[in-house]
Amino acid sequence: MSILEVSGLSAGYDGGFVVHDVSLAVEAGEFVAILGRNGSGKSTLIKAVQNLLGNVHGQVLCGGEDVFRMGPRRVAAKIAYVPQMAEPVFEYAVEEIVLMGRFARQGRFEKSSAGDAAAVAEAMRLTDVAGMREKRLSQLSGGERQRVFIARALAQDTPLLLLDEPSSHLDISYQVEIYGILKGLQKDKGKAVVVAEHNVNLAAAYARRLVFLKDGGIAAEGTPAETVTAANVLAIFGADVDIRPNTRSGLPEISLAGGRVDE
Amino acid sequence: MSRKTGRRLFWAVSMFLCLAGFLLSLLLGPVRTTPGDLARFIQNPDRVRAAIFIDLRLSRAVLAFLVGAALALSGAILQGYFRNPMADPFVVGVSSGASLGAVLATALGFEAAVFGFSGPGLLAFLFGLGIVSIVYALSLRRGGFKIETILLTGIAAGALASALTTFFLFMRSDSYDQAVFWLLGSFQLAEWGQAATIAPWVVLCLLASVWLARDMDLLALGDETAQALGSPVRRVRKAFLVMSALLAALSVAVSGIIGFVGLVVPHWVRLLIGPGHRTLFVASALAGGTFLLYCDLLARNLLPAELPIGVITAAVGAPFFIYLLHKKR
């Protein structure tokens, strides 16, 4: 069953639509990557499907329910979101940040419950941040911070995770670590994971299905083997590259020729 | 020091200081009184001592506490609202706007009471709300909350409002004293009626801010993230904007502009007990009330003549403000 069904969605900001007439379905437990250049509408799409944008047209169903008719609390119980990395304000401790993921499940005057504590502990265990619960975000590295934000999304306890460029400012070891965690959540916890990503190789290595956006519309869609082709990369990213199978996984990846030595 | 220890220490120390402050306020004043006098009065009340202890000193102490609590709570709200520890009703210009409103109402003879608000109180609220809304809109337009925009807009709006306030006061030519009252603040005119007017509103705002405290925590992560986590961001922002203006206006209407309380107090409190807004709001109110109680004690006992209380709070707050600016760079 589809957990997310997007049909004829156009979305944008005050200035007009950025995403045009996108239709897309995400199955429960599926790992999907949305790819495209900067400004192609990846972030806009990720935000629009969880009703964060004012200017939308079309329909988005989450678990069969119309997202655009849901209040924030209801959406937060179904969809968790890890935005592009932002600088933290005020000195919240890691555990306090993760607990914020429980907001939609707490009454306003209630103290946090045993259920909240259990969900927070489990989320911190899965992302390996339990050892730094007392630390402030400002004391953490970029990769650790991102793990904290993923833990916060996990504490929301939703069947669907949306992540916007989860590893874009991280060096390669953290990229592999973050994607490893996401893959584990999908395989072991049955979460549907949707990432916006500009790194094609990274996406092809972890996601089962790739959706390429160009100028706010879907330009290609399918498995890595079907979509990561030299023709697609040229048409969508405007880059002339070679595609080769990865020697270990056999998945296609972009290989750059660079300047030739004999030239 | 861990936050838990810090928290315990904070509550113990501020409770003690608060009680001690009230006691000192009862004992100190132009008429010499001893603890013995107070004890005798409590056992056996008489009219003369009642006038001194209850009507003059206690009313003033209670009013100073309420105003301090309101200003510190308003500051804590504005700091969360603008995601910036340098916001405060005075810095953002709300207090100056409120004082302009109050003076204008008096100048126009608009004194009628609406919903328990005097005319000056009502106009003070509307002008304060107007200024904070302008600062909010301008700082949003320049993309996110740039502290430069907030501070510069607030300072400019505040300076303009203060100039207009002074202009209206001097038009009526009665009042150098009045100008000092509105621009630097004082509890010289304190009476029970004023305390009774603002007390319910301060309590109401405190309850409402605790009710929305978790939403404020989420706002620290950014508006989109806050909404994605389940907070109705637009409504929450409106509620907090109204509360911050209301609290500042209530304070200004009874005691003029008292600067920097809302800046310094929440900052200290956050250092001791952490940034979680549920405790921060309550603790700021308690600490702010206590802080202003002592400032008022200084204002009326430091020199033979009474000082405007804004002089004391600025002497403490302005250097602190400069220190914060310096630390930011």
Q: What is the mean pLDDT of residues B46-60?
A: 87
Q: How confident is the model at residue B52 (pLDDT cuts 50, 70, 90)?
A: confident
CA–CA separation, A80 and A159 (whole Å): 8
Three-state SS string over chain B comes to CCHHHHHHHHHHHHHHHHHHHHHHHHHCCCCCCCHHHHHHHHHCCCHHHHHHHHHHHHHHHHHHHHHHHHHHHHHHHHHHHCCCCCCCCCCCCHHHHHHHHHHHHHHCCCCCCECCECHHHHHHHHHHHHHHHHHHHHHHHCCCCCHHHHHHHHHHHHHHHHHHHHHHHHHCCCCHHHHHHHHHCCCCCCCHHHHHHHHHHHHHHHHHHHHCHHHHHHHCCCHHHHHHCCCCHHHHHHHHHHHHHHHHHHHHHHHCCCCCHHHHHHHHHHHHHCCCHHHHHHHHHHHHHHHHHHHHHHHHHCCCCCCCHHHHHHHHHHHHHHHHHHHHC
Mean pLDDT of chain B: 87
CA–CA separation, B219 and B225 (whole Å): 8
From B209's Cα to the closest Cα of chain A, the distance in A is 11
DSSP A105-144: GS-SSPPP-HHHHHHHHHHHHHTT-GGGTTSBGGGS-HHH
In CATH terms, the superfamily for domain B62-328 is ABC transporter involved in vitamin B12 uptake, BtuC (1.10.3470.10)
Do A76 and B220 count as a contact with CB atoms less than 8 A apart? no
Q: How confident is the model at residue B320 (pLDDT cuts 50, 70, 90)?
A: confident
Is pLDDT of A41 > 90?
yes
Q: Which of B154, B14, B131 is nearest to B84 (CA)?
A: B154
pLDDT of residue B312: 92
Tokens of B191: 């009476």
Do B224 and A47 count as a contact with CB atoms less than 8 A apart? yes
**B111 compared with A163, residue with greater pLDDT:** A163
Q: How confident is the model at residue B174 (pLDDT cuts 50, 70, 90)?
A: low
Contacts B2 to A, Cβ<8 Å: 134
A85 touches chain B (CB under 8 A): no
Residue A130 burial class via C-beta count within 10 angstroms: exposed 0-12, middle 13-18, buried 19 and up: middle
CB-closest option in A79, A86, A103 to B231: A103
pLDDT of residue B143: 57
Query: By CA distance, what is B79's nearest residue in A?
Result: A90
A56 touches chain B (CB under 8 A): no
Tokens of A227: 């979509």
Do B228 and A81 count as a contact with CB atoms less than 8 A apart? yes
A214 touches chain B (CB under 8 A): no
Q: How confident is the model at residue A263 (pLDDT cuts 50, 70, 90)?
A: very low
From the candidates A90, A91, A154, which should be mutated to test the interface with B, based on the most B CB atoms within 10 A?
A90
CA–CA separation, B144 and B130 (whole Å): 20
Model confidence pLDDT, tens digit, residues A148-185: 999 999 999 999 999 999 988 888 988 999 999 999 99
CA–CA separation, A35 and A228 (whole Å): 11
Do A91 and B218 count as a contact with CB atoms less than 8 A apart? no
Model confidence pLDDT, tens digit, residues B72-90: 999 999 999 988 888 889 8
Q: How confident is the model at residue B113 (pLDDT cuts 50, 70, 90)?
A: low
CB-closest option in B83, B220, B232 to A92: B220
ipTM here:
0.92
From A104's Cα to the closest Cα of chain B, the distance in A is 5
From B145's Cα to the closest Cα of chain A, the distance in A is 12
Domain boundaries, chain B: 62-328
Do A79 and B218 count as a contact with CB atoms less than 8 A apart? no
Helical packing angle, B59-81 and B192-211, nearest 10°: 30
CA–CA separation, B85 and B79 (whole Å): 5
CA–CA separation, A177 and A200 (whole Å): 17
